Structure 1
Amino acid sequence: MKFTFCHNNINVLDLEKSLKFYKDALGLEEVKRKEASDGSYILVFLGDGETNHKLELTWLKEWDRPYNLGDNEFHLAFRVDDYEGAYKHHKENGWICYENTKMNLYFLEDPDGYWIEILDKNRK
């Protein structure tokens, strides 16, 4: 028996704002969309164009408040081939919420407060 990653899901309050963030900050593109016939939800799957792994953004029509992320001890992680360039781009846009220079990594915060770890592709 073998399991492979398919996607991760996060719920978002403002779908358009989140789509813009994930495109501008990480280059993720929409690859699939499913909308409920009654308009109660929209699912948008984003891909990096390199792997089969997807990020599913779920928007719920009836949800009208920020999501409770608890202690926010979970996160997504991305490796980048140009760490310095990515850092500069993310810093200029004000997306960096935490840096650990000793470990050569930093985190972004998306519009809903989810954290995204950025790692140099050469980091062991």
Structure 2
Amino acid sequence: MHFTFAHNNLNVYDLQKSLDFYKEALGLEVARTKEAEDGSFILVYLTDGTMPHQLELTWLRDMKRPYELGDNEIHLAFNVDDFDAALAKHKEMGCVCFENPKMGIYFIEDPDGYWLEIVPEK
């Protein structure tokens, strides 16, 4: 028996705002969408166009407030081939929430408060 990653999920409050953010900040594109027949949820799977692993954004109709992320001690990490250009772009977008120059990484925050680690390709 062998398991492989399929996707990670993040629940989002404003689906369009999140889709716009992930496209602009990370270049992710919609791979597929699934909508509940009763309109209670929408799942959108995003791809980087390279790896088979996807990010699933889940929007729930009945969620009437932004999500509470607690201590937010989880994150997703993204490799980038031009670290300096990415950092400049994310600073321009105003979404850099933490930098660690000693480790050579930084984090951006999405519209729902999830932290995304940006790591230079090795």
**Which band: TM-score by shorter chain?**
over 0.9
User: For 1:38, what is the secondary structure of its paired residue?
Assistant: coil
Report the Cα offset of residue 66 of structure 1: 1.1
SS where residue 68 of structure 2 aligns? Answer: coil
Percentage of matched positions with identical amino acids:
63
Partner residue, 1:111: 111
Question: RMSD in angstroms over aligned alpha carbons?
Answer: 0.5
Q: Deviations over 1:67-118 (max 9, x none)?
A: 1111000000000000011011001110100000000100000000000000
The superposition leaves residues 15-58 of structure 1 with CA deviations (integer Å, 9 ceiling, x where unpaired) of 00000000000000000000011111000000000000000000
**Structure 2 counterpart of 1:5, one-letter code:** F
Say whether 1:30 aligns with 2:30: yes
**SS in structure 1 of the partner of residue 69 of structure 2:** coil
How does 1:1-124 map onto structure 2 within 5 Å?
Answer: 1-122=1-122
Q: Return 5+ residue gaps in structure 1 as ranges.
A: none
Distance 1:14 1:43 in 2: 12
5+ residue gaps in structure 2? none
- Structure 2 Cα separation of the partners of residues 31 and 5 of structure 1: 16
Aligned length: 122
